[in-house]
Structure 1
Amino acid sequence: MSEPTDAIPIEAVRTWLHCPRRYEFAHVDALEPEPDGDRDSQQARVDVIRRSICTALRRGEDDADTLYEAAVDRLATLWDAHDERFHSRAQRTHERTVLEATLRAYIDEFGADHAAGIRRLEAETDGEVIGPVLPLARSVSLPAPDGSTADGPTADDESTARSRTVRIDATVDYVYADGSSIVGVRFVPTLAPLGLVRYRSDWEGDVERLFTDHFDTETDAFDPEPVAALFETSVVLEGLRRLCDRLGLERRTCRYVQLPLADRTATAVNWIRGTVETSLEVADLTDAYVDHHTFGMTLEHRNRSVDDRLARVVARLLDGGYAPADRWPQIERNACPDCEYAVCCPEYIASEVRFDG
């Protein structure tokens, strides 16, 4: 495959799946969206915990109490500089207590084991495996107008092939060794956007049907977030394979997991004692993504259906056609109600301003 000449973040692909017009406003015109107080605050708190955890993991310890102390120390520093507005000092204190409980749950349930896996990985290589925001990428050959890939037989020359190769960027927060596997971990606010992908461990069946139906214009299905998660998994797994190649880690399988840091559904608050307890779950997206037929042919965690569709989506994204077209009914119903760009969207304005007669 030729070297890519363009690079786009996986978040841009996610935005396009919600609405091509939203992608145009956000990533082409670079328009700033209206602030979303709750969402922005949630993401800011996740960033505080993410940075605290990565600082603790860099200490080189895998004892749970030592990790927790290092993470809490870093959290205290970051929280002092955190400028989120609260209605009272008591609320600010409570939110910090929730973050500390989240750190404790992470360390007890995952952190110590993951830290040990990082130590094993660092013993084999001197490469960087701790973020936050550790960059990964994959290159895709975009379909030519006749449907073939640019680096296939229809490419007339090297420059044509090169122009049709694009790099897609993604990130994880750290990478650790788990037996013969290399696992990429990304912290997210919640797992809710994954939909049923969160609860399935096989591509065949519900996940495949959800993915296929989203792109079927004859159905009303509209599931951009689970589809985006499958695309992201494709990018991350290929990025991890490239990382293994760079670090000289041979014969390793790669896995990708998401870990929520702002999901309050498992949080219990004792207001009398002023204590908070919580628990965390992890979503391993690898099995829901892997097509076992492709795995049987290549012995790698891949899914040709997802990978090919990703290339087609990126090709449409880069071709500059931003009109929602045949997906407008689904987009209007599902994406418009919470879209920050609705006020300047011609399709939305036209749908709202109608004249009888």
Structure 2
Amino acid sequence: MSDADRRLSPSRLATYGTCPRKYEYDAVWDVETPDESRRYLDRGLAYHAAIEETCNAVREADEAFSDEEIREYALDRVRAEWTARAKRSEYQSDAQFEYDRALTISAVESFFETDGIEHARNSIATEKTVTYDRGDRHLKGRADNIVRTDDGLHIYDYKGSFNGIVSWRSADSIPLHRNGEEYIAGKLKSLFQAAIYIEGAKNLDVYEPGMDVEFSFYALLKNKTREGHPDGLQVSASGYPRDVTDIYEEYRDDIWAIIEDCYDGIVGERYEPSRFEEIREHSCGDCDYRAMCSDYLSAEVRIDE
């Protein structure tokens, strides 16, 4: 494996942390799986692109945008992105297609009525690759938005919801997962993102010693409403951030121990699941590879017997 191949992302590390065999099928063998639902993909592509393009436009403009111009630009972009990316044929009905379209537009509109203006005005870079070397372990990530604050830098990752995102309610399970007492694979990617983005940001040209570096997930579709109206169903969405910086600082040693274990397993090509009973209980049901996985199939046979 070359040094370039050894630079692993939070997503790859989390796949391995969920199940080494799943990583083997996905990253090593590159086995094709059924296409994922277009709904969540279309939403994500549209609102990510709208935020990115708006932040870039404000940053690169020759003349300052007013707040209202930022909002109008963002709404124009999300409508255009939805039209360009979403395909009605991928949806079960016109109603489902229109619901997702309205929800995505509402989420962007709400975002730029609140925190989005600040994000756009202070954005340093969007879709920025960050790298971090921890000894001979080489890591990388791609930050949705890096925003300058009074105290330093704040990195944002835009999501639809907080599903799979670590919180203080689940944080005390981090050392238990490390020690094999609990299994929180669903939270690993968010932990790995926090670690790699926070440390990787310190390698950016814009970073200065002593700067604070914070990292938040922003759930754009956290709150959703729908109600009847004479003109049809009315839907709306709004969101807010979850700062996980303090969770990372509190559990830094445990998080890095888990990352290092996953990294070493990938580089060492160790794909035999060592915690398969937990994997089977919590992760196999959502895995696209279970129909071909010898570990899963043999476990099913033992249970049937």
Residue matched to 2:23: 23
CA spacing shift, 1:356–1:93, aligned 2, 3 Å: closer
Which residue of 117, 123, 130 maps to 2:125?
130
Structure 1 counterpart SS, 2:202? helix
Q: Distance in 2 between matches of 1:356 and 1:305?
A: 38
Cα deviations by residue, 1:289-347 (Å, 9 ceiling, x for unpaired):
103xxxxxxxxxx923322432232112211111112x111001111111100011111
Q: Quick check: 1:78 aligned with 2:72? A: no
TM-superposition CA deviations, 1:105-128 (whole Å, max 9, x none): 11112111222323xxxxxxxxxx
User: Is 1:233 aligned with 2:194?
Assistant: yes
What SS does structure 2 have at the residue aligned with 1:77?
A: helix
Tell me the alpha carbon deviations over residues 259-298 of structure 1, each in whole angstroms, 9 at most, x when there is no partner. 12344xx21122215433332121111011103xxxxxxx
Match of residue 56 from structure 2: 58
TM-score scaled to structure 2, two decimals?
Answer: 0.88
Given the superposition, is the C-alpha separation of residues 54 and 329 from structure 1 closer, same or farther in structure 2, using an over 3 Å criterion?
A: same
What is residue 288 of structure 1 aligned with on the other side?
247
Partner deviation per Cα, 1:70-94 (whole Å, 9 max, x = no partner): 1121222222222252334343333
> Aligned residue for 1:67?
70
1:342–1:348 CA contact under 8 A, matched in 2:
yes
Residue 298 of structure 2 aligns to which amino acid in structure 1? A
Structure-1 separation of matches of 2:157 and 2:35: 24
Residue 277 to residue 76, structure 1, CA distance change in 2 (3 Å): closer
Separation in 2, partners of 1:353, 1:12: 30
Q: Which amino acid aligns with 2:290?
A: A
Paired with 2:25 and 2:55, the residues of 1 have a C-alpha distance of: 38
Asked whether the equivalents of residues 4 and 166 of structure 1 are also in contact (C-alpha less than 8 Å), the reply is: no
Q: Could you tell me which residue of structure 2 aligns to residue 340 of structure 1?
A: 288
Give the 3 Å change call, closer, same or farther, for CA 344–88 of structure 1 in structure 2. Answer: closer
User: In structure 2, what is the equivalent of residue 270 of structure 1?
Assistant: 227
TM-aligned CA deviation for residue 248 of structure 1: 5.7
Match of 1:102 in 2: 107
- Work out whether residues 227 and 234 of structure 2, in 8 Å CA contact, stay in contact via their aligned partners in 1: yes
Q: What value does the CA root-mean-square deviation take over the aligned residues?
A: 2.3
Q: Distance in 1 between matches of 2:185 and 2:303?
A: 32
Counterpart Cα distance in 2 of 1:10 and 1:289: 14
Q: Secondary structure at the match of 1:276?
A: strand
Partner of 2:159: 188
- Secondary structure at the counterpart of residue 291 of structure 2: helix
Q: Distance in 1 between matches of 2:221 and 2:28?
A: 30
What amino acid sits opposite 1:213 in the alignment? Answer: L
Are the aligned partners of 2:46 and 2:82 in contact in 1 as well (CA < 8 Å)?
yes
Q: Within 2, Cα distance between the matches of 1:171 and 1:305?
A: 23
1:43 equivalent to 2:41? Answer yes
Of structures 1 and 2, the larger Rg is shown by 1
Structure 1, unpaired ranges of 5+:
119-128, 142-164, 201-205, 292-301
Percent identical among aligned pairs is: 18
Displacement of 1:5 in angstroms is: 7.1
Q: Distance in 2 between matches of 1:170 and 1:113?
A: 23
Q: How far apart, CA to CA, are the structure 1 residues paired with 2:137 and 2:179?
A: 25
Aligned counterpart for 1:316 among listed residues 260, 265, 272: 265
The DSSP-based 3-state class of the residue aligned with 1:102 is helix
Q: Which residue in the other structure is 2:32 paired with?
A: 32
Q: 1:211 is aligned with what amino acid?
A: I
Aligned pair in 2 of structure 1 residues 262, 43: CA closer, same or farther (>3 Å)?
Answer: farther
Contact 1:42–1:262, Cα closer than 8 Å, also in 2: no
Q: For each residue in 1:148-170, what CA deviation from the matched residue of structure 2 results, as whole angstroms up to 9, or x when unmatched? A: xxxxxxxxxxxxxxxxx132111
Matched, 1:255 2:259: no
**Counterpart for residue 150 of structure 1:** none
Q: Which residue of 1 aligns with 2:117?
A: 112
Task: Report how many aligned residue pairs link the two structures.
Answer: 294
Distance in 1 separating the partners of 2:227 and 2:145: 33
TM-score by length of 1: 0.76
